[in-house]
Amino acid sequence: MATAMATASLLSLNCPFFSIQGSRKKGKRKGRGIAAGQGNSCGFGMRGQKSRSGPGVRRGFEGGQMPLYRRIPKLRGIAGEIHVRDGLNFRGMHAGLPNYVPVNLKDIASAGFQEGEEVSLETLKEKGLINPSGRERRLPLKVLGDGELSVKLNIKARAFSAAAKEKLEAAGCSLTVLPGRKKWVKPSVAKNIARAEEYFAKKRAAGTESEA
């Protein structure tokens, strides 16, 4: 008897012709009369946009009133402020990002540079003074004026703060301002710019000749 029941239970579990009671439910018969429970309007109600055929209401739509994603405040703080960088106005989250890899005079003094040596982004990396990663790997060097420097060095950087420039010139260091990366422009635009520069150069030359 026990073996027969075990065989019957195995058949009910594995055989597609047998199923456990309650494991299979009949689907709702929508639109098949009021007696079916979902017969008349199929559960969509009588009227309104949600009862019509088609794609329905788009996500975030609130019937025409100002939606939530437009009501809430945004772009506050750094994201909403206008920052001036290289003579241009920038707005948004990227406006608060650093433009340079900073290094102070006290850091250069503690790195152990000898007199006459070159201080640049590469030499500072070799000394382990800076270790830029991610976005900072593409940023240029800027020398800041915190600290003192008594050794004469050849310093190459994109920018110097006013205090750093004053202290380095007083110490007898040679300063080299490296040029910035040129902005890419279309070849046609570059050709027009070259033509304009040539035109104005000729005009200036003609003006100086007439004055002479």
Q: How many Å apart are CA 105 and CA 161, to the nearest integer?
A: 11
Local confidence band at 88 (pLDDT 50, 70, 90 cut-offs): low
Residue with tokens 């790195």: 111
pLDDT of residue 102: 92
Local confidence band at 120 (pLDDT 50, 70, 90 cut-offs): very high
Prediction pTM value: 0.49
Local confidence band at 124 (pLDDT 50, 70, 90 cut-offs): very high
Which domain CATH number covers 136?
A: 3.100.10.10
Does residue 189 fall inside a structural domain? yes
Residue 199 belongs to domain spanning: 183-212
Does residue 37 fall inside a structural domain? no
Q: How does pLDDT run across 38-55, given as a tens digit for each residue?
A: 888 888 888 888 888 888
pLDDT of residue 199: 93
Does residue 109 fall inside a structural domain? yes
pLDDT of residue 7: 55
Q: How does pLDDT run across 9-49, given as a tens digit for each residue?
A: 555 555 556 678 888 888 888 888 888 778 888 888 888 88
CB within 8 Å of 98: residues ≥ 6 apart: 136, 139
Same domain flag for 118 and 148? yes
In this predicted structure, which of 86-95, 118-127, 131-140, 176-185 has the lowest mean pLDDT?
86-95
Same domain flag for 105 and 146? yes
Same domain flag for 109 and 152? yes
The answer on pLDDT for 163 being more than 90 is: yes
Q: How many Å apart are CA 11 and CA 16, to the nearest integer?
A: 9
Tally of domains in the chain: 2
